[in-house]
Amino acid sequence: MSQTLQAVRGMNDILPDQAELWEQFEETIRDWLHAYGYRPIRMPMVEPTPLFARAIGEVTDIVEKEMYSFEDALNGESLTLRPEGTASCVRAVLQHNLLYEGPKRLWYMGPMFRHERPQKGRYRQFHQVGIEALGFAGPDIDAEQIAMCARLWDDLGLQGIRLEINSLGQSEERARHRADLLAYLEQHQDRLDEDARRRLHSNPLRILDTKNPQLQALVEGAPKLVDYLGEASLKHFDGVQQLLRDAAIPYRINPRLVRGLDYYNLTVFEWVTDQLGAQGTVCAGGRYDGLISQLGGKPAPACGFAMGIERLLALWQDQGHRHEIVVPDAYLVHQGEAAARFAFRVAEALRSAGFAIQLHCGGGSFKSQMKKADGSGAPVALIVGDDETAANAVSVKPLRGGYEQPPEQQRVGFDELADHLGTLLFPMEDDDGSL
């Protein structure tokens, strides 16, 4: 026998138990985004490679070493599996001229691809929820996005996620800082690692973002970007902080927070937890006022963030939460040819009435079918044999799994079945379905 094929390393199957948790998470996410006026957008998973090189920056982890790029076999065009959503989202907004009517609040959710070393919380296919607010210049939208995150942690019952913020100022301010930073790092060249040495002249700011513990002390002593901010940048930063204080959202200014992507300016933020080991950042974002014009659009300010769904759900489960188990309303067992046809009709009629019915398929004794019914977690088994079929009726048997004290089994006529089942399953509801 040939060996069974395996999924690509770092790309995970999400099996039904987990996938149900994902669905419930996604429902919460949709309600939460709706509450803030964000509208959905869906972009392709493959984009022309130059989009990411231009948007994210040539000297970044993503573009230097993490992209899944390949040549289109037909026309030789270089294509890339999207490593993140912002570039695609802005590309779509420009292509369809969406800013024509004014600012936009947009969100998306889906898989992203990065060729990284797989480990806990770091995968090659992972999933993000991302939001982008395009055309808004003030600190209010930055603060609103941060407050959104705080609310989501609360909605999900997540604890221990702390907020770090910083300001990257504007490019002239970064240029002055860069000169001093470069001088400082050149003085200590012998202490730099290979990555840092390579970036020293192309992108020294990025060295502050290093994950190498041996560089921490060096980086700690480096000139701080905040000390180079001009009046307007400081005012924007103060504005964000004021709104955060008003909303009672605690934060820490982390001068080393520079983010791994080139397109950020002014506000940057990360939500971090100590409970996930090395992969502790669950959400990251900030302002990127230059990106839209960099991608060929009419200049417009913008701000957004992305959160890692795998990391959030791992934290959620680590903190003892369990998702609601999804069970059918009833499991339908049957025996005999005529009964099988009647059962099929009963199942469809009940589904039309709004019930979730699992129809037994594949035969077997009543006993083995009843075992399946129990195992399904359904609160009720519906039984159709020759007698029931002849009487145009169904036996309704409450199951132990669904009730502490199951009511008696009862035979119910086909026409009364939906009402009967409704009363049995949802005894507190009025006729109109409200509680």
Q: How far apart are CA 420 and CA 413, in angstroms?
A: 9
With DSSP H G I counted as helix, E B as strand and the rest as coil, what are the percentages for the chain, rounded to 5? 45, 20, 35
Residue nearest to ligand ATP (CB): 308
Size of the site for ligand ATP (CB under 6 A): 19
* Beta-sheet pairing, 252-253 with 162-167: parallel
Asked if residue 360 binds ligand ATP (CB under 6 A), the reply is no
Asked if residue 195 binds ligand ATP (CB under 6 A), the reply is no
Asked if residue 258 binds ligand ATP (CB under 6 A), the reply is no
If you search the block for the tokens 């200049």, which residue do you land on? 299
Residues 6+ positions from 420 with CB-CB distance below 8 Å: 396, 410, 412
Q: Which is closer to ligand ATP, CB of 151 or CB of 372?
A: 151
Sign of the C-alpha dihedral, residues 118, 20, 111, 107?
Answer: negative
Exactly one of 310, 380, 388, 424 binds ligand ATP (CB under 6 A); that residue is 310
Query: Could you tell me the CA-to-CA distances from 74 to 45, 47, 48, 79, 82 in Å, in that order?
Result: 18, 16, 14, 12, 20
Nearest one of 139, 341, 394, 91 to 242, comparing CA atoms: 139
Nearest distance from residue 422's CB to ligand ATP, in Å? 43
Q: How far apart are CA 291 and CA 269, in angstroms?
A: 18
Nearest distance from residue 179's CB to ligand ATP, in Å? 25
Q: Which is closer to ligand ATP, CB of 121 or CB of 301?
A: 121
Asked if residue 281 binds ligand ATP (CB under 6 A), the reply is yes
Asked if residue 311 binds ligand ATP (CB under 6 A), the reply is yes
Nearest distance from residue 42's CB to ligand ATP, in Å? 18
Of residues 114-143, those binding ligand ATP (CB under 6 A): 114, 116, 121-123, 126, 128
Nearest distance from residue 45's CB to ligand ATP, in Å? 16
Q: Are 234 and 247 within 8 A, CB to CB?
A: no
Asked if residue 306 binds ligand ATP (CB under 6 A), the reply is yes
Nearest distance from residue 185's CB to ligand ATP, in Å? 21
Q: Which is closer to ligand ATP, CB of 123 or CB of 153?
A: 123
Nearest distance from residue 134's CB to ligand ATP, in Å? 18
Q: Which is closer to ligand ATP, CB of 105 or CB of 114?
A: 114
Nearest distance from residue 100's CB to ligand ATP, in Å? 29
Give the single-character DSSP code of 263. T
Nearest distance from residue 281's CB to ligand ATP, in Å? 4
Q: What is the 3-state secondary structure (H, E, C) of 336-368?
A: CHHHHHHHHHHHHHHHHCCCCEEECCCCCCHHH
Q: Which is closer to ligand ATP, CB of 121 or CB of 223?
A: 121
Q: What is the 3-state secondary structure (H, E, C) of 371-414?
A: HHHHHCCCCEEEEECHHHHHHCEEEEEECHHHCCCCCCCEEEEH
Asked if residue 170 binds ligand ATP (CB under 6 A), the reply is no
Exactly one of 48, 239, 255, 260 binds ligand ATP (CB under 6 A); that residue is 260
Crossing angle for the helix pair 86-95 and 49-56, to the nearest 10 degrees: 110
Q: How far apart are CA 404 and CA 141, in angstroms?
A: 51
Give residues in contact with ligand ATP (CB under 6 A). 84, 114, 116, 121-123, 126, 128, 260, 279, 281-284, 306-308, 310-311
